Amino acid sequence: MTTRLSEGDQAPDFTLPDADGKPVSLAERRGRKVLVYFYPAASTPGCTKEACDFRDNLAELNGAGVDVLGISPDKPAKLAKFRDAEELTFPLLSDVDKEVLTAWGAFGEKQMYGKTVTGVIRSTFLVDEEGRIEAALYNVRATGHVAKLRRDLKI
């Protein structure tokens, strides 16, 4: 069973390449809140809907002092195509080895169409200014997820 993070845990640090291959680290965002969300695959219907919801709400999130980072096991080139096609304006990070996904409990067994499979568990985390988990949400829905986050965070 995959170890899951809980409220109050220290967020596992990471440095991953973005869609352009440039390194992005969680540590460089200390002092701001960060929404880190994990999604299965760029350019798929659910992941596109979720990413576009984050894009459409980014000004309000940023205005409330919250940055957004999306992480998937896709290679940077696929992320760049996804970013450009959907006009995404926040960093998409590549975790091809799934080390960060695993450290955050966002990779492991899940139910899909009634079967147990191993893969990315759609998850979102709010990391506070000191790098601690403020909220850990696993098995989130792609549709309506950002609206629920904004309600819960009062943004």
Query: What does the alpha-carbon distance between residue 94 and residue 20 come to, in Å, rounded to a whole number?
Result: 10
Average of pLDDT values for 54-65?
94
Q: What is the pLDDT of residue 69?
A: 98
- Mean pLDDT score of the chain, rounded to an integer? 93
Average of pLDDT values for 109-134?
91
Catalytic residue among 34, 42, 47, 93: 47
With cut-offs at 50, 70 and 90, classify the pLDDT of residue 34: very high
Q: b/e for 77-89, b at 16 or more Cβ within 10 A? A: ebbbebbeebebe
Query: What does the alpha-carbon distance between residue 119 and residue 81 come to, in Å, rounded to a whole number?
Result: 22
With cut-offs at 50, 70 and 90, classify the pLDDT of residue 117: confident
Average of pLDDT values for 135-142?
90
- Residue 98 φ/ψ region, left for φ over 0, alpha for ψ in the -120 to 50 degree band, beta for the rest: left
Q: What is the pLDDT of residue 149?
A: 86
Average of pLDDT values for 12-35?
97
Average of pLDDT values for 94-111?
94
With cut-offs at 50, 70 and 90, classify the pLDDT of residue 2: low
Is 52 labeled as catalytic in the residue annotation?
no
Q: Write down the CATH superfamily of domain 15-153.
A: Glutaredoxin (3.40.30.10)
Look at residue 1 and tell me whether its pLDDT is greater than 60.
no
Look at residue 43 and tell me whether its pLDDT is greater than 90.
yes
Question: What share of the chain in percent tops pLDDT 90?
Answer: 79
Domains of the chain, by residue range, sit at: 15-153
Query: What does the alpha-carbon distance between residue 89 and residue 76 come to, in Å, rounded to a whole number?
Result: 15
